Amino acid sequence: MASADFAVEVWGKGALFTQPQAKIEKQTYSVITPSAASGLLKSVYWHPGLEYIIDAIQVCNPIQYGTIRVNGTTQVANISTIKKHMDNPTNLDACCILPARSRQQMFMVYLKDVRYIIHGHIFLNPNSGQPNMSLDKAIDILNIRLQNGQNWSQPFLGCREFTAHIKPYEPGYLSFEECNPLLLGYTQLEPMLHFIEYRESTAVMPHFYRPAMIDGVIQVPNPQLWEKAVMNA
């Protein structure tokens, strides 16, 4: 299957890649996840016939954490209750969340001053129903939009409060000189989300992996090869 390589530089003042087990007081992963990196590329140029595969993530800044206290609520709107009172709007208070009663302050653990170099490749999905899409045209559009700062939607680093800046990475290869001295050596990171598999049914299957960072570089396994290995097991 034909593909084209890309390399982009992403940075921001903060990032929050939420761990799924920390839903109340959000806590971030140590680094950006492959699914979040793919989402950044889709925010620049999205097309139903394109697939972004992340091959490697280079961490350029030391991993630093910070905390923010935010206002949240202890209640969640119930969709079934809202639908029930849409036909009989006599007791709207039953489906309303009153901030004065449910407000609660929570802590968010986020990453400070992040900068990543994301390497990957882009290919055309043959099952997308877009037969007229050209790979050369797609990569040209992506590069033009990156150079001009154009976005399909506002890119952010895991949370909309943390705006992402993204541009093409000129050298196009993993440079040892880009690594911060504090990141040299081998670091085993925590298990994190790799990608989400959307099956033909309504089932959604998340896939996790445990990355290892060597001199600031994380090699990401190819999800297509992963799926083939599981099917042949």
Q: Are 125 and 46 in contact (CB under 8 A)?
A: no
What confidence category does residue 232 fall into, taking pLDDT thresholds of 50, 70 and 90? Answer: very low
How close are the terminal C-alpha atoms of the chain, in Å?
23
CA angle in degrees (0–180, nearest 5) for 62-67-68: 135
Residue in the structure block whose two tokens are 């799926």: 227
Partners of residue 214 on adjacent β-strands: 186, 217
| pLDDT at residue 34 tops 50 | yes
Residue 117 pLDDT: 92
**What's the topology of domain 3-67+108-232?**
Alpha-Beta Plaits (3.30.70)
Domain ranges of the chain: 3-67+108-232
Model confidence over 41-64: pLDDT tens digits? 999 998 888 889 999 999 999 999
How far is the C-alpha of 53 from the C-alpha of 7, rounded, in Å?
11
Q: Output the six-digit token pair for 212.
A: 């290892």
Partners of residue 118 on adjacent β-strands: 8, 57
| pLDDT at residue 171 tops 90 | no
How far is the C-alpha of 95 from the C-alpha of 87, rounded, in Å?
13
Tell me the mean pLDDT in the region 155-172. Answer: 86
Model confidence over 95-108: pLDDT tens digits? 666 666 667 778 88
| pLDDT at residue 90 tops 70 | no
pTM of the entire predicted model: 0.79
